[in-house]
């Protein structure tokens, strides 16, 4: 896909989402970023897009509400004049022991991490069809892509991210005739959580064959590579520095 003058919606305008938005702007893409609570970060990301000479807008949304997904997509398309690219990046990531899990915890994760990705894709497809095709990039996780859970306390998250892989494959088949290519990125040790101690940071480095954290830019590179391709669909690409090998 030639990215010049294309229009993208990124769900999640913080940290990695902000770097992906800037990378897209650098390739000539106008960007809408959604956020739940991180308005300052989303606005900063939008400013970076504008600094690159592209249009940007931000939309506050609660993606745990099913109706909000369609509203978000349609508002983004109406504001920027269409939609070519959807990046489903919004995610809930909060540990909780199995014995403490209740249905509300399950829904809080699955509704955002999996259901919202489907609902946003469903709303985006009609806009992409009008423009002759498009790209959908979902976000899974290196653990789910590796096919086995490694960390206790993340049951709903693991299930949701495994579901994203299935969603990506199924959507790729359903939408191939519309020239809508659907792929996923499965990040590994890219950016350390803010609460990580120095010891935890170092332990991850030592467990990663490349011996370092990747940084947000590696995810942006993977997203751009998938957008550039006209013949990759239904794939989930790990970006984990070889972490799955150990």
Mean pLDDT, residues 227-232: 98
Q: Which two tokens stand for residue 8?
A: 């993208």
Q: Mean pLDDT for the chain?
A: 96
Residue 94: the pLDDT is 85
pLDDT value of residue 103 = 97
- Is 67 assigned a catalytic role? no
State residue 6's pLDDT score: 98
Beta-carbon neighbour count of residue 109 at 10 Å?
Answer: 25
Query: pLDDT tens, 9-68?
Result: 999 878 899 999 999 999 999 999 999 988 999 999 999 999 999 999 999 999 999 999
Q: Is residue 175's pLDDT more than 90?
A: yes
Catalytic pick among 35, 93, 157, 158? 157
Tokens of 218: 């590696």
pLDDT score recorded for residue 195:
85
Rounded average pLDDT over 129-142:
98
**What's the rounded Cα separation, in Å, for the pair 113 and 72?**
16
Tell me what pLDDT residue 38 has.
Answer: 87
* 5 contacts 15 by C-beta, under 8 angstroms: no
Q: Does the pLDDT of residue 88 top 80, yes or no?
A: yes
Considering only CA atoms, which of 86, 64, 71 is closest in space to residue 6?
Answer: 86
CATH-assigned architecture of domain 7-245 = 3-Layer(aba) Sandwich (3.40)
Reported as a pLDDT band with limits 50, 70 and 90, residue 93 is: confident
Phi, psi (deg, nearest 5) at residue 86:
-120, 125
pLDDT band at 230 (very low <50, low <70, confident <90, very high): very high
Domain boundaries, the chain: 7-245
Q: How far are the Cα atoms of 121, 214, 241 from residue 199, in angstroms, in the given order?
A: 40, 17, 19
């Amino acid at each position: 896909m030639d990215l010049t003058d294309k229009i993208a919606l990124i769900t999640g305008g913080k940290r990695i989402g902000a770097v992906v938005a800037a990378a897209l702007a650098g390739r000539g893409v106008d960007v809408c970023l959604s956020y739940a609570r991180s308005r300052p970060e989303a606005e900063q990301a939008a400013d970076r897009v504008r600094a690159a000479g592209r249009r940007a807008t931000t939309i506050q949304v609660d993606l745990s509400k099913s109706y909000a997904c369609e509203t978000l997509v349609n508002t983004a398309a109406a504001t920027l004049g269409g939609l070519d690219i959807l990046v489903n990046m919004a995610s809930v990531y909060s540990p909780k022991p199995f014995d403490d899990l209740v249905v509300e915890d399950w829904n809080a994760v699955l509704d955002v991490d999996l259901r919202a990705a489907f609902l946003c894709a469903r709303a985006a497809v009609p806009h992409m069809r009008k423009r002759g095709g498009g790209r959908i990039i979902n976000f899974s996780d290196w653990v789910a892509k590796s096919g086995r859970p490694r960390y206790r306390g993340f049951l709903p998250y693991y299930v949701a991210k495994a579901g994203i892989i299935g969603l990506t494959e199924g959507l790729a088949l359903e939408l191939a005739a519309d020239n809508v290519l659907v792929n996923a990125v499965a990040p590994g040790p890219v950016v350390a959580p803010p609460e990580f101690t120095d010891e935890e940071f170092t332990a991850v480095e030592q467990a990663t064959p490349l011996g370092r954290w990747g940084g947000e830019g590696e995810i942006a590179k993977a997203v751009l590579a998938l957008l550039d391709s006209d013949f990759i669909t239904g794939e989930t690409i790990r970006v984990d520095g070889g972490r799955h090998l150990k």
